[in-house]
Structure 1
Amino acid sequence: MLLKEIKDIFHKELDELYPKEEIDSFFYSCIEHYLKLERFILAIQPGLTLTKEEEQPLFEALAHLKLEKPLQYILGTTHFMDLELQVNENVLIPRPETEELVQWILDDISSEKSDIRHQKTEVRNQPNEKDTENLIPPPLTILDIGTGSGCIAIALAKNLPDAKVYALDVSEEALEVAQKNAESNGVDIGFMHQDIFNPELELESELHFDIIVSNPPYVRELEKKEINKNVKDFEPDTALFVSDEDPLVFYKAIMGFSENNLNENGSLYFEINQYLGEETKALFNTRNFSEIELRKDIFGNDRMLKAKRT
């Protein structure tokens, strides 16, 4: 069959479910993934014909797309901050908003390093001051709670090669995915199978952290009606939803954990429910945290929160 005919079939079968541009993206992603063909191939080879063997994975992908299964699960891969990651139904599909959270952390660290360089310059110009080497901080220790695919931890480890990065999740299946992703992206991460709600949670070697980051479950049950079928029917419920009665339950648990395991002046970073920004901020005002900051995502929603331990 001609490749352009298969593209026409994608549109015929999917036009009622997805916008035209999205169907085009599905088709080109599939031919790139399964056949290693660039998306401009039809422009230079409009008469390209596929064998039955080459057609098969395309039509299998189409069948899954008709059920509204996410393309990332169909292909088994996705991209996050220039990384290629494996994903399956045991982990959430990383999203652009989470990239913004990671970038916020990296920007803050870059700014702090710039301040240190400035201090060292001042010390060099004052001969009676202490050795500038004393201004060099030890390597950062970072913990990602509820790591899922490992996207946050791996992106931080990739961009901060001197940092010691750890990642925790209650799901053994998710940790298997995260470990494979760490290996394929060439980073060393200390993975831990732990439950943040375990009151006796103890980390090896009494670890303490400079940064704790988390994208925990935060979608209330009442918000399910707003969630697309491809998310609600395929992505793991336990990584998405919380009860209407206690929607900040994960933030409370991580806040309590941080009071014992986050270094003084260490920073907490969260992805949050856009409808509960002020409530989440107020929660941290009740404990030993300061410099609490809400930040909006690219869509103008309250999506991220930062706090420092005092």
Structure 2
Amino acid sequence: MKTIKDVILSFKNNLQNLYSSNEAIAIAMLVLENMTGMQRSRLKAFEQDELSGEILEKIHPILEELKTGKPVQYILGTAEFYGLSFLVNPATLIPRPETEELVEWILANKKSKAQQPISVLDIGTGTGCIAISLKKHLNNARLSAIDISEHALNTARKNATLNQVDVSFIQGDILNIKQDYELSGSQFDIIVSNPPYVTGTDKILMHSNVLNFEPHTALFVTDDEPLLFYKAIVRVALNSLKIGGELYFEINEAFGKEMVDLLTNNYFKDIELKKDLTDRDRMIKAVKF
């Protein structure tokens, strides 16, 4: 029989061409947590414990899939985000820690103010992680979320049910807003988006498990139009954001100055460019006036 430590070592050895040692260990822990129901601290404390044959049989095909580069979240079908569990699949991006920082920024700004009812729009919602996390912590907020992919929206709806929140989901292409569009006439206190912003130049540096498995429509823009989605969302905000309303973006670190210029040129004020925990320009906030 194999112990917990044996399985972790097996993951390190088999995934060394794809991941660093620490990444492989983290993946092994995630799989073991999922398979055993044990918390990470307990797995570490009892690493000499033997695992049952049933668990080992389930772990083997997971490791084989991981060796192809497939992200562990897609294999397990779930990902953690801001303390909540989300269903994920190849129709949705895997929620990332830097996006948690964006959610935290919004919550920090809203919680410090009077708890009056507000309306929030999340553009390009994917799994629904931003909208659902905001709704979970802002009970007075009315959340709407839009995505071009019906498959992604189906997942987001399931995630809203899973996390017991009410979010209004809308299918639509933010690049092709029409006069009769469902958002027409809506007025929001907050618009937030983590749109596609990875350029062709950035793509060269990306890990194969992102390039080969995550949805390209949610990731990439061309080198000649890196701000394509931001410009479209700013146009929406000019029509659908209340005076004094806040616009939040997750951004490509290479285009912080360009984002400030875009918002300034469209008459937004109180523009704040914010770094993430790795000291990269990753978020921006602006107020409509």
Which band: TM-score by shorter chain? over 0.9
Query: What amino acid is aligned across from residue 52 of structure 2 in structure 1?
Result: L
Between Structure 1 and Structure 2, whose CA radius of gyration is higher? 1
2:146 is aligned to 168
Query: What amino acid is aligned across from residue 189 of structure 1 in structure 2?
Result: V
Aligned match for 1:187, one of 165, 184, 190? 165
Pairing 1:254-273 to 2, within 5 Å after superposition: 254-273=233-252
CA distance, structure 2, for counterparts of residue 38 and residue 283 of structure 1:
46
> TM-score, with normalisation over the residues of structure 1?
0.87
Structure 1 or 2: more helix by fraction = 1
> TM-score, with normalisation over the residues of structure 2?
0.93
2:267 is aligned to 288
Give ranges in structure 2 of 5+ residues lacking alignment: none
Aligned match for 1:252, one of 223, 231, 234? 231
State the shift of 1:38 in Å. 4.2
Are 2:183 and 2:240, in contact at CA under 8 Å, matched by a contact in 1? Answer: no
Give per-residue Cα distances to partners, 1:212-239, cap 9 Å, x unaligned: 0000000111211111111111111111
State the shift of 1:21 in Å. 2.6
2:71 is aligned to 70
State the shift of 1:308 in Å. 0.9
CA distance, structure 2, for counterparts of residue 298 and residue 191 of structure 1:
31
State the shift of 1:112 in Å. 2.5
Aligned match for 1:48, one of 40, 50, 60? 50
Equivalent residue of 2:55, what SS?
Answer: helix
State the shift of 1:252 in Å. 0.7
Are 1:102 and 1:152, in contact at CA under 8 Å, matched by a contact in 2? Answer: yes
Of 169-178 and 10-19, deviating more is 10-19
CA distance, structure 2, for counterparts of residue 152 and residue 6 of structure 1:
34
Query: What amino acid is aligned across from residue 3 of structure 1 in structure 2?
Result: T
Are 2:3 and 2:51, in contact at CA under 8 Å, matched by a contact in 1? Answer: yes
CA distance, structure 1, for counterparts of residue 275 and residue 233 of structure 2:
21
Equivalent residue of 2:98, what SS?
Answer: helix
Structure 1 residues 76, 165: CA separation in 2 closer, same or farther (over 3 Å shift)?
same
Say whether residues 1:148 and 2:126 are aligned partners: yes
Are 1:259 and 1:288, in contact at CA under 8 Å, matched by a contact in 2? Answer: no
Query: What amino acid is aligned across from residue 77 of structure 1 in structure 2?
Result: T
Aligned match for 1:177, one of 137, 150, 155? 155
Query: What amino acid is aligned across from residue 71 of structure 1 in structure 2?
Result: V
Structure 1 residues 290, 238: CA separation in 2 closer, same or farther (over 3 Å shift)?
same
Are 2:271 and 2:284, in contact at CA under 8 Å, matched by a contact in 1? Answer: yes
CA distance, structure 1, for counterparts of residue 98 and residue 252 of structure 2:
12
CA distance, structure 2, for counterparts of residue 6 and residue 192 of structure 1:
43
Are 2:184 and 2:240, in contact at CA under 8 Å, matched by a contact in 1? Answer: no
Are 1:265 and 1:309, in contact at CA under 8 Å, matched by a contact in 2? Answer: yes
State the shift of 1:41 in Å. 4.7
Query: What amino acid is aligned across from residue 84 of structure 1 in structure 2?
Result: S
Question: What is the count of residue pairs matched by the alignment?
Answer: 286
2:106 is aligned to 105
Equivalent residue of 1:59, what SS?
Answer: helix
CA distance, structure 1, for counterparts of residue 239 and residue 69 of structure 2:
43
Give ranges in structure 1 of 5+ residues lacking alignment: 114-135
1:237 is aligned to 216
Are 2:93 and 2:218, in contact at CA under 8 Å, matched by a contact in 1? Answer: yes
Are 2:3 and 2:47, in contact at CA under 8 Å, matched by a contact in 1? Answer: no
Structure 1 residues 107, 279: CA separation in 2 closer, same or farther (over 3 Å shift)?
same
CA distance, structure 1, for counterparts of residue 63 and residue 244 of structure 2:
51
CA distance, structure 1, for counterparts of residue 47 and residue 261 of structure 2:
60
Give per-residue Cα distances to partners, 1:123-157, cap 9 Å, x unaligned: xxxxxxxxxxxxx84x1000000000101000100
Are 1:42 and 1:48, in contact at CA under 8 Å, matched by a contact in 2? Answer: no
CA distance, structure 2, for counterparts of residue 99 and residue 43 of structure 1:
29
1:209 is aligned to 188
State the shift of 1:70 in Å. 1.2
CA distance, structure 2, for counterparts of residue 43 and residue 142 of structure 1:
43
Query: What amino acid is aligned across from residue 68 of structure 1 in structure 2?
Result: G
